[in-house]
Amino acid sequence: MAPDPRIDPAFRDLPLDALADAALSRARELGAQHADVRVERIVSQSISLRDGSVTGVSDSTSVGLAVRVVVDGVWGFASHVELTPLRAAETAAQAVGVARTLAPVARERVERADEPVHVGEWVSAYEVDPFVVPTREKVELLSEWSQRLLAADGVDHVQASVSQVRENKFYADLAGTRTVQQRVRIEPGFTATAVDRAAGGFETMSTLAPPAGRGWEYATGTGWDWDGELAAIPELLAEKTKAPSVQAGPTDLVIDPTNLWLTIHESIGHATEYDRAIGYEAAYAGTSFATPDKLGALRYGSPIMHVTGDRTVEHGLATVGFDDDGVETTEWDLVRDGVLVGYQLDRTFAPRLGLERSNGCAFADSPHHVPIQRMANVSLQPDPEHDTTVEDLIGRVERGIYVVGDKSWSIDMQRYNFQFTGQRFYRIEDGRLAGQLRDVAYQATTTDFWGSMEAVGGPSSWRLGGAMNCGKAQPGQIAPVSHGCPPALFRGVNVLNTQEEAS
Ligand SMILES: [Zn+2]
């Protein structure tokens, strides 16, 4: 393979092939039918400031090797922090030992979908590795953002932060697949607070910038207009503090991609995880109403609803070249013409659904955790025929609300009844925005909500949102994931007044 010069030399200098050879040959000698080795190094940094002063800088590095085996149809797993061939062989023996110990109690035999052998390297789409930028320079940028906001009328406090991760993974298995990968992600952000001393309350407004599979260039203006947003926030916050409280009731909503991504995450992303749908994964965030007996039949939403899973979209947080099963990543349909047609799978779940290949959703967040099925980038597709804009959608509403930015959410354990708030809410009157509203939440069941979707924006209105740390499984694992969507128009969604609900 041609070595990719962007891959961190310090990772490449690890004895990757020697570790793999030692572990795989030992596993084979001991009777494993399948064995894979991951060598990982995950470097993270978080910086946070309050009112321009640094309140925290944390750096962490997680290094290790993991060996996973299948012996007589039973999984075994072991990991170690020491990266020597001797330790790799011992770890393989330990994994085989785990499988043999578990054999008498294992209720089912592992069957895995086939996958072609891959040898290659993959690096995510970024320009500047955040870990080559001095911490001082990052603090200066966040401090400068904070000062700009604090200098504006009506802003009393500012929190600013940036989280960054660089993830290196080496994977090798007995079938012959051997891959080296590097991906980078970043989440810069800020929140401005206005304190109302007379009334004893406060109001906040945060950036709408999503975390992204990008490098430091994102914080300095590639892919997001920080200058424009920093200049606009104080006035938007002041307007929000004086905005009237919403009147509850069924309301037409135009939902911006900056808000809709989270609704997609909770009501489609988690609901189409196959392990949840079959009740295999239930502990952390419940199961799913979208069970496999409904595949091809469940009306998830209106006929214009087209939702895909992918681990390939540029700058996507779940995007990678090969998953932790050694599967080359891809894109597929989850909901087509409003009907449930697919799930997120790994190599053990694909055969249960009668599929010959996995769609590449195996992921472990650490060399010391076993890979599980984790979320792909789950995205609502735009209208392929009309390049409808958000203004066009707002123009179709006589009286309604335009919802911008995510804030809080709740959803039940079957991913069915939910409630979402947002950063900003604009009254729509006769097809035009007519000032902000406060205290808005929208509430629905998953199928009613998506069933009420009348129109979606076109290709040029499509945006990626996402989260750095989606949680799943026990022991808990985190995963980064993006969700793309256009703005969309929903008719007659139940709107709550959060002040009235709270009192
Ligand atoms: Zn999640």
In angstroms, what is the span from residue 131 Cα to ligand 1's centroid?
A: 27
In this structure, the chain runs to a length of 503
Q: Are strands 34-50 and 157-173 parallel, antiparallel or unpaired?
A: antiparallel
Stretch 50-61: mean pLDDT, rounded?
98
**Predicted pLDDT at 369:** 97
Q: Which ranges in 265-301 belong to alpha helices (H)? A: 274-277
In angstroms, what is the span from residue 111 Cα to ligand 1's centroid?
A: 27
Residues 230 and 257 in one domain: no
In angstroms, what is the span from residue 491 Cα to ligand 1's centroid?
A: 26
In angstroms, what is the span from residue 325 Cα to ligand 1's centroid?
A: 21
pLDDT at 96 over 90: yes
Residues 177 and 271 in one domain: no
In angstroms, what is the span from residue 265 Cα to ligand 1's centroid?
A: 6
Residues 316 and 438 in one domain: yes
Residues 476 and 330 in one domain: yes
**Predicted pLDDT at 285:** 61
In angstroms, what is the span from residue 371 Cα to ligand 1's centroid?
A: 16
Residues 323 and 442 in one domain: yes
Instruction: Report residue 346 CA to chain centroid gap.
Output: 17
In angstroms, what is the span from residue 26 Cα to ligand 1's centroid?
A: 37
For residue range 381-395, what is the model confidence (pLDDT) as tens digits? 999 999 999 999 999
Residues 440 and 357 in one domain: yes
| Percent of all residues in the chain with a pLDDT value above 90, rounded to a whole number | 91
How many domains in the chain? 2
- Please give the Cα distance from 502 to 431 (Å, whole number): 31
Residues 237 and 274 in one domain: no
**Predicted pLDDT at 474:** 84
pLDDT at 338 over 60: yes
In angstroms, what is the span from residue 261 Cα to ligand 1's centroid?
A: 11
Tell me the sheet residues that pair with 419: 410, 443
Give the pLDDT band of residue 231 (cuts 50, 70, 90). Answer: very high
Q: Which ranges in 62-114 belong to alpha helices (H)? A: 85-102
In angstroms, what is the span from residue 266 Cα to ligand 1's centroid?
A: 6
Stretch 340-351: mean pLDDT, rounded?
97
In angstroms, what is the span from residue 72 Cα to ligand 1's centroid?
A: 34
Q: At 418, list the tokens.
A: 């939910």
Tell whether 4 is covered by a domain: no
pLDDT at 2 over 90: no
Give the pLDDT band of residue 280 (cuts 50, 70, 90). Answer: confident
Q: Do you find a cis peptide bond into 475, omega within 30 degrees of 0?
A: yes
Tell whether 325 is covered by a domain: yes
Q: At 483, list the tokens.
A: 């969700």
In angstroms, what is the span from residue 123 Cα to ligand 1's centroid?
A: 25
pTM: 0.97
Domain boundary among 241, 261, 284: 241
Tell whether 153 is covered by a domain: yes
CB 265 within 8 A of CB 481: yes
In angstroms, what is the span from residue 269 Cα to ligand 1's centroid?
A: 8
Stretch 193-210: mean pLDDT, rounded?
92
The whole domain housing 462 covers 249-502
DSSP state of 144: H
Q: What is the mean pLDDT of the chain?
A: 96
In angstroms, what is the span from residue 433 Cα to ligand 1's centroid?
A: 32
Tell whether 41 is covered by a domain: yes
Tell whether 104 is covered by a domain: yes
**Strand residues in 267-395 grouped as ranges (E):** 307-310, 331-336, 339-340, 362-363, 372-373, 377-380
Residues 475 and 331 in one domain: yes
In angstroms, what is the span from residue 374 Cα to ligand 1's centroid?
A: 9
What's the half-sphere exposure (Cβ side, CA atoms, 13 Å) at 136? 0
**Predicted pLDDT at 433:** 98
Tell whether 94 is covered by a domain: yes
For residue range 135-187, what is the model confidence (pLDDT) as tens digits? 999 999 999 999 999 999 999 999 999 999 999 999 999 999 999 999 999 99
pLDDT at 1 over 60: no
Residues 203 and 299 in one domain: no
Residues 357 and 475 in one domain: yes
Domain boundary among 241, 257, 272: 241
CATH of the domain at 177: 3.30.2290.10
**Predicted pLDDT at 282:** 64
- φ and ψ of 90, to 5 deg: -65, -40
| Percent of all residues in the chain with a pLDDT value above 70, rounded to a whole number | 98
In angstroms, what is the span from residue 482 Cα to ligand 1's centroid?
A: 11
Stretch 430-447: mean pLDDT, rounded?
97
pLDDT at 94 over 90: yes
- Please give the Cα distance from 118 to 114 (Å, whole number): 12
Tell whether 2 is covered by a domain: no
**Predicted pLDDT at 500:** 87
Residues 385 and 272 in one domain: yes
CB 332 within 8 A of CB 310: yes
Tell whether 1 is covered by a domain: no
In angstroms, what is the span from residue 270 Cα to ligand 1's centroid?
A: 6
pLDDT at 495 over 80: yes
* Lowest-confidence region among 49-53, 138-142, 207-211, 408-412: 408-412
Residues 315 and 343 in one domain: yes
Please list all protein residues whose beta carbon sits less than 5 angstroms from ligand 1, which is an ion.
470
Residues 6+ apart with CB under 8 A from 355: 113, 345
Q: At 272, list the tokens.
A: 């189409």
Looking at this protein, which amino acid is placed at residue 70? V
Domain boundary among 223, 241, 259: 241
**Predicted pLDDT at 484:** 98
In angstroms, what is the span from residue 146 Cα to ligand 1's centroid?
A: 30
**Predicted pLDDT at 115:** 98
Q: Of 190, 188, 170, which Cα lies nearest the Cα of 179? A: 170
Instruction: Using DSSP, state whether 261 is helix, strand or coil.
Output: helix
Q: At 177, list the tokens.
A: 């697949």
